[in-house]
Structure 1
Amino acid sequence: MTQHKQAVEKAIKSINQAKEEVSKNHWRLNYHVASPAYWINDPNGFSYYKGEYHLFYQHHPFTPQWGPMHWGHVKSKDLTHWEHLPVAIAPSEDYDRDGCFSGSAIEKDGKLYLMYTGHKWTGDNHDTDLEQVQCLAISEDGINFEKLTNNPVIGAAPEGDIHPNHIRDPKVWKHGDEYYCVIGNKTKNEVGQVLLYRSADLLEWEFLNVAAKGEGNFGYMWECPDIFHLDGQDVLMMSPQGMKPEGHLYHNLHQSGYVVGELDYESGKLGHGAFQLLDYGFDFYAPQTTVDEKGRRVMVAWMAMWESDMPEQEFEWAGAMTLPRQLFIKNGQIISKPMPEVETLREGLTEYEHVSFEGDHVFKDVSGDSLEIDVIIEAKEATRFGLKMRMNEELGEETVLSYDCNEEFLTLDRNKSGKGLDGTRRTPVKLHDNELHLRIFIDTSSIEVFVNDGEKVMTTRIYPDPTSTGIEFFADGLISVKKLKKWALGKSVGVSPIAASGLTE
């Protein structure tokens, strides 16, 4: 048995010993991907291979804290029902002894190639004492992976104003007859940038250029870059570290967003417009996209944030993935919507139309901890309105989504959401014909709010008491709930599609 196979087996054994106890935790999510046990962060290797979606993730399979990174693995036929698979890659060689950091996947000659960053510490200072190189692991079946014997495929950093140690998170794609990859980096003076490489065969890589670099308040390191073509334009998506707050923007520790422009494949330079956020909530980082057989551009991100409280760690797990979201470009901005396949989880429709009120209002049978709400609210005479979710008056728990008609801001408030977390996030939102359209996905420890058909999204983890299931609408003047639909959503992670309706593990 190879060193790598031994390392994978050790990780699998650790997870199997813990997963049954972890599954009993009341905050375990029903329809969001999380590992069966222990820590996860960035999505990796998101790909469509042999008729199935494969999603890998950064994983420490021994504790619920960040540690030497492995790649966990799930797959799905429909982006909704996910099956847990064995750990795909584990630290085992000198070049990745302290972690198989983030990367991506691509199919070539019927095989699935994972391109990842091999990481090792060279001293005690984790900001300066490190080496990062780019490596490949290859699979014939999409499940069992072997590392390339002549790794790394990209060793030392290129010459120029390129930090030699912080060089990670390769995202690979094919354009024409050649392969390209973009890698996160920073300058020697701590300015975030991305590097572009080209290859004929995924094995030999040529450095082309610094594709894009930050100016002004654009962070000291760009992590997890992704370049793709969408609706006639090129998009660079990345996660800048170190952006400073500006008004209502950039209040998370690190941000995730994009620029729209055009990549010149000859010069390796990306001309682009201004940076825009992908999500205006608390818990969204390191998004990665893939394209499926229908040509849809699908994105998923880590539904957590660095240095944030994670109360689930007490129960031997930490971190989860967002719902997969389909991306579009409209008026130079990315619109993100839940994949339509999530609708297969719907059970038991409750529906209301044209209900007008002021003050507080509770709709019968609109409550729960695993549900979807689709609501259109006409502001009428109100200056402020919204809804409280995961409510329990006795415990004083609620997560509040409120719209201010005068300021034209939507606010997500988790100051009373339960254990561990607090704060508010705000984003400007304009009413359409004096109406606000919200599509809200509530899971046992998360909320995702899609605003006006995906113009804005706000994502947060919350940790309420399991009895906090109330939902209450409020308005400080007359509003009309023009349409309200609510469905319970079934469990879909770790459940086969056939068994999903019975909610059996």
Structure 2
Amino acid sequence: MGASRKIAGTWVVVVAVAVLSRWVGVAEASHAVYEHLQSLESSNYDPKLRTGYHFQPPKHWINGPMYYNGVYHLFYQYNPKGAVWGNIVWAHSVSTDLINWLAVEPAIHPTEPFDINGCWSGSATILPGNRPVILYTGVDTLSRQVQNIAFPKNLSDPYLRKWVKPKYNPLIQPVGGINASSFRDPTTAWSRDFKRWVKAKHALHTAGGTGMWECPDFYPVSIDGKQGLDTSEYGEGVKHVFKVSLDLTRYEYYTVGTYDQEKDQYVPDGASPDGNTGLRYDYGNFYASKTFYDAAGKRRILWGWANESDSVTDDNSKGWAGIQVIPRAVWLDKEGKQLVQWPVEEIETLRGKQIQIKHKIVKSGKFFEVKGIQTAQADVEVIFDVKSLEKAEPFDPSWSTNPQGLCGIKGGEVKGGVGPFGLFVLASSKLEERTAVFFRVFRSDDKHVVLMCNDPTRSSYKSNLYKPTFAGFVDVDIAKNSKISLRTLIDHSVVESFGENGKTCITSRVYPSLAVGSNVHLFVFNNGAEDIEMSQLKGWEMKNPRMNDGEI
């Protein structure tokens, strides 16, 4: 779900239908359905690994944002009856700072023939005259996915609590051979009146062999500077980003390219693959994201969802499932090759007690504990200085399209030449449990290759956990600069890491059994043959914001 608006001109920026797929036999929605659990209210509520400063409702299962008249609105897919997918409504929370949130009543429920079997994902848009609107996928009486519209009932209400669905819904139906079970997640486009829709003669963009695209996003970025652009911006000095969430892989991919307004077509630049080996916002547990233009901060903000990595039974037992990652400002890097992301600056208002360490050598095979703050809920920034690259391991070109697989082979425990070096987070005192966030440097024929990895394989003694390694390559000239930075947001069961000032981002969900609460420790380690200097480490305890504590 996302938001956009047109500042001027005859075209109105609105929401359009998601990418479509043709019938190939019988297709089903990708959501896992647990009918015996989806309406089961948890009798227990377990807060031990619940996040402190990431967005979560008080309980149950969640899985797009809008800025309107000084208030941020987050609409999100929510099950009000259980901690698994099902009974989906559009829940609604509001904020003035993206950090502290108040819950309001759900914006959309299944009530009409065009959405009686589900109110699924979509987008929010602001029309001319400063009028917000929601376009969303409904599942109708025939179990077809159709596109519907809703408007706020009272524009004078600053929180836009109540929404109404016109009787002329649905706006768009799956006709002409469109797969009615893969016709969802409408996102931003252009229209004249927002009521009459016709299928375009050609696709905005296609990429063969990639399966169904969920939650597509399409927006402009400036080629110069960090300032965000309104969704309708077009012309000189502007590139466009096209993002899809691939149902086949459950990861997100994007390209940077050029939008031709006359032809109504988007063409990637070709700097990265257009498919499931291309660029990603986040190389970890991150899906179904949307961006919106924040007119107040003149920035584009990206917000994604991180699912749980424990079992459905665990989710039901603890009474909650799913979080939103910290909102991120996003912009094009100086070379124009990729996006850069960084947590919104408002998150720093939660920083509390601070520690700082400077110029400490971490010798080969050694580690040390960072003391002085509680690190179950922390923000840590580190700069490493790589003095020598002589012992860097050779890089096999076959690894270039599979950093995750490479990390699986060469994880945090595998000794290397230059690295692995980084942090052990959410660690127990004797390191029986730990999640490694690290860099490893390789040597190729013409350059050095830097791998960034989250390795949670030793994160918990618990069984039945999904503990994949996640990894991405970092676009940095380590031979020239010698330094590389890491920022990690730690929040009980989530680890969000940003390498080299946000060029590579990785999110993991972990569930320690020993490293919980005051028993969480933080270490700096170096498992490579070369000594590494930690030029600087800054760490802060993070306070709890107000988080959906009661409905207004």
What range is the shorter-chain TM-score in?
A: 0.7 to 0.9
Matched, 1:49 2:84: no
- Which residue of structure 1 lines up, in the alignment, with residue 467 of structure 2? 422
Q: Matches of 1:443 and 1:306 in 2, distance apart? A: 15
- Please give the alpha-carbon distance, in whole angstroms, between the structure 2 residues aligned to 1:61 and 1:321: 17
Asked if the contact 1:366/1:471 (under 8 Å) is kept, the reply is no
Of 363, 375, 378, which aligns to 2:370?
Answer: 363
Instruction: Give the deviation of 1:366 after TM superposition.
Output: 4.8
Query: What residue number does 2:418 align with?
Result: 383
Q: Conserved in 2, the CA contact under 8 Å of 1:370 and 1:488?
A: yes
Q: Which has the higher strand share?
A: 1
2:49 pairs with one of 6, 15, 27: 27
Contact 1:34 / 1:321 at 8 angstroms: preserved in 2?
A: yes
- 1:19 & 1:365 partners in 2: Cα distance? 37
Partner of 1:111: 131
TM-score where L is the length of structure 1: 0.80
For residue 112 of structure 1, report the CA deviation from its aligned partner: 2.2
- Same amino acid, percent of matched pairs: 29
Instruction: Determine whether 1:408 maps to 2:450.
Output: yes
Contact 1:438 1:451 (8 Å CA) reproduced? yes
Contact residue 254 and residue 281 of structure 2 kept, 8 A: no
The answer (yes or no) to whether the contact 1:27–1:312 under 8 Å persists in 2 is no
CA RMSD of aligned residues (A): 2.5
Which of the residues 262, 265, 268 maps onto 2:261? 265
Return the offset for 1:383.
Answer: 1.6
Q: CA contact under 8 A between 1:376 and 1:437: conserved in structure 2?
A: yes
Distance, in Å, in 2 between the alignment partners of 1:473 and 1:417 is 16
- Cα deviations across residues 143-172 of structure 1 (Å, max 9, x unaligned)? 211111211111234x4x743442111113
> Number of residue pairs matched?
432
Q: Is the 8 A contact 1:280 1:425 kept in 2?
A: no
1:63 alignment counterpart: 82
The answer for the alignment partner of 1:168 in structure 2 is 184
Offset of residue 463 of structure 1: 1.2
Counterpart among 136, 145, 152 of residue 163 in structure 2: 145
Aligned partner (choices 193, 203, 214) of residue 210 of structure 1: 203
Letter in 2 for 1:204: R
Unaligned runs of 5+ in 2: 1-37, 223-237, 389-416, 443-448
Query: What is the aligned counterpart of 2:326 among 311, 323, 328?
Result: 323
Quickly say closer, same or farther: Cα 1:445–1:312, change in 2 above 3 A.
Answer: farther
Q: Secondary structure at the match of 1:356?
A: strand
1:96-145 deviations in Å (ceiling 9; x for gaps): 112111001012334321110011474xxxxxxx4111101111332211
After superposition, give the CA deviation of every residue in 1:3-43 in whole Å (9 maximum; x if it has no partner): xxxxxxxxxxxx9x979964x511221111112211111xx
List structure 1 segments (4+ residues) > 6 angstroms apart after TM superposition.
Answer: 17-21, 305-310
Structure 1 residue ranges without an equivalent (≥5): 1-14, 123-129, 173-179, 181-197, 243-252, 497-505
Given that residues 396 and 416 in structure 1 are in contact (C-alpha distance below 8 angstroms), is that contact kept between their aligned partners in structure 2? yes
1:353 aligns with 2:358: yes
The DSSP-based 3-state class of the residue aligned with 2:83 is: coil
Distance of aligned partners of 1:312 and 1:394 in 2 relative to their CA distance in 1, 3 Å threshold? farther
1:100-249 equivalence runs, <5 A? 100-108=119-127, 109-120=129-140, 122=142, 130-139=143-152, 140=155, 141=157, 142-157=160-175, 159=176, 162-172=178-188, 180=189, 198-208=190-200, 209-216=202-209, 219-231=210-222, 232-242=238-248
- Deviates most, 474-483 or 281-290: 474-483
1:386 CA drift (Å) = 1.7
User: 1:35–1:72: 8 Å Cα contact kept in structure 2?
Assistant: no
- CA displacement, residues 276-334 of structure 1 (integer Å, 9 cap, x when unaligned): 33344431001101001132110101112799768443211110101101111122211
Q: Which amino acid aligns with 1:85?
A: V
Kept in 1, the 8 Å contact 2:113–2:141? The answer is no
Deviations 1:162-221 (A, max 9, x none): 43442111113xxxxxxx3xxxxxxxxxxxxxxxxx4222222232231111124xx210
TM-score by length of 2: 0.73
Give the C-alpha shift of residue 389 in structure 1. 0.7
CA distance in 2, matches of 1:395, 1:350: 21
Does structure 1 conserve the Cα–Cα contact (< 8 Å) formed by 2:57 and 2:548?
A: no
Partner of 1:277: 279
Q: 1:212 to 1:101 in 2, by over 3 A?
A: same
Match of 1:39 in 2: 61
Letter in 2 for 1:82: W
- In 2, distance between residues paired with 1:156 and 1:291? 30
Aligned residue for 2:204, secondary structure, equals: strand
Q: Which residue of 2 aligns with 1:502?
A: none
Once residues 431 and 43 of structure 2 are traced to their aligned partners in structure 1, the CA distance between those partners, rounded to angstroms, is 29
Alpha-carbon offset, residue 495 of structure 1: 6.8
Change (3 A) 1:431 1:361: farther
| Alignment partner of 1:486 is 2:530 | no
**Does residue 443 of structure 1 match 2:491?**
yes
Secondary structure at the aligned position of 1:205 is classed as coil
Per mean C-alpha deviation after superposition, the further-off stretch among 363-372 and 64-73 is 363-372
2:407 matched residue in structure 1: none
**Mapped partners of 2:315, 2:441: distance in 1:** 36
Q: Is the 8 Å Cα contact of residues 311 and 463 (structure 1) preserved in structure 2?
A: no
Paired amino acid for 1:378: D
1:460 CA displacement: 0.9
Quick check: 1:32–1:493 contact (8 Å CA) kept in 2? no
